[in-house]
């Protein structure tokens, strides 16, 4: 294929909405305020407007507040967004392993509020990625066929062990790990491991990812409103890969993933 002829490249060059395509953003945050920086225009309504403006149908979302502060407070914000826009947001509960005795109870509360997956970000919570405090979350996901997106899964052998032991759960690698792509073997080995494109922002990253990883296991994630939505989406639309693969990455793979792990 001549990549200059890509429908998606032409759409972004013409600054068009992605009409007629199913787009699902598998990595977004929710909540208007953050310790880390000022985030303008970031209410749930603002984010839905941004998705509409660009042509994003749905987004998996989880709270900002729970990353650095009170995860219960953050999960309530997430549930509020999901309940306000049930057709647009798929909410994930965020937990803190320092409160490991509360995790299962909090996940059950979140399930009742309409959330259907888990976000982990132990690095930011100053907790070891392989630590025991996260296992209640893995167990809950296994029992309820939930998805878990982690900022960092640690060594590939650890993710391999989790995907084997908690085989009813789906494990999403939250960020592109770089051209060495340390997880590619684990992704190939397990049906329940997916790779998010989030932070694949160096020259040639998307092409390298498609070379190393089965393209049906790659899902688009923007990190909005940490990163700008089109900052993360445009590299896929411009990438020198086929339009069929682009279509799968920006939405169809995540759609299939969510249908398989709908969450009880």
- Could you tell me the smallest distance in angstroms from the CB atom of residue 68 to another protein? 11
Residue 155 is a binding residue for another protein (CB under 8 A): no
Inter-axis angle of helices 71-84 and 44-54, to 10 degrees?
50
Distance CA 246, CA 10 (A): 13
Positive or negative, the CA dihedral 141, 56, 88, 46 is: positive
Positive or negative, the CA dihedral 158, 163, 164, 167 is: positive
Interaction pattern, residues 233-252, with another protein; x per rule: CB under 8 A: xxx-xxx-------------
Distance CA 4, CA 233 (A): 17
- Could you tell me the smallest distance in angstroms from the CB atom of residue 18 to another protein? 11
Residues 162-221, interacting with another protein (CB under 8 A): 179, 200-208
Residue 37 is a binding residue for another protein (CB under 8 A): yes
- Could you tell me the smallest distance in angstroms from the CB atom of residue 89 to another protein? 16
- Could you tell me the smallest distance in angstroms from the CB atom of residue 152 to another protein? 14
- Could you tell me the smallest distance in angstroms from the CB atom of residue 140 to another protein? 30
With contacts defined by CB under 8 A, name the span among 49-57, 68-76, 122-130, 166-174 that binds another protein.
Answer: 49-57
Q: What b/e string do you get for 182-202 counting C-beta neighbours within 10 Å, with b at 16 or more?
A: ebbebbeebebbbbbbbbbee
Strands 218-219 and 170-173: unpaired
Residues 77-136, interacting with another protein (CB under 8 A): none
Q: Under the rule (CB under 8 A), what is the footprint of another protein?
A: 3-4, 12-15, 36-42, 50, 53-54, 179, 200-208, 224-235, 237-239
């Amino acid at each position: 294929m001549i990549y200059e002829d890509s429908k998606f490249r032409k759409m972004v060059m013409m600054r068009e909405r992605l009409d007629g395509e199913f787009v699902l953003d598998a990595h977004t945050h929710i909540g208007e305020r953050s310790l880390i920086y000022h985030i303008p225009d970031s209410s749930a309504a603002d984010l839905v407007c941004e998705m509409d403006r660009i042509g994003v149908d749905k987004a998996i979302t989880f709270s900002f507040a729970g990353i650095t502060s009170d995860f219960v407070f953050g999960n309530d914000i997430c549930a509020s967004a999901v309940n306000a826009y049930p057709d647009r947001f798929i909410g994930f509960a965020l937990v803190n392993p320092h409160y490991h005795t509360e995790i299962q109870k909090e996940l059950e509360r979140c399930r009742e509020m309409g959330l259907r997956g888990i976000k982990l970000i132990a690095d930011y919570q100053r907790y070891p990625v392989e630590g025991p405090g996260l296992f209640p979350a893995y167990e809950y996901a296994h029992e309820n066929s939930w998805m878990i997106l982690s900022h960092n899964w640690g060594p590939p052998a650890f993710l391999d062990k989790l995907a084997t032991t908690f085989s009813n759960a789906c494990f999403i690698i939250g960020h592109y790990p770089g051209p060495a792509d340390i997880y590619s073997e684990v992704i190939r080995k397990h049906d329940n491991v997916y790779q998010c494109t989030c932070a694949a922002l160096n020259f040639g990253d998307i092409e390298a990812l498609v070379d190393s990883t089965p393209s049906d296991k790659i899902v688009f994630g923007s990190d909005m409103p940490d990163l700008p939505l089109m900052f993360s989406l445009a590299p896929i639309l411009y990438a020198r890969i086929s339009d069929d693969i682009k279509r799968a990455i920006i939405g169809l793979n995540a759609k299939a993933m969510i249908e398989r792990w709908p969450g009880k």
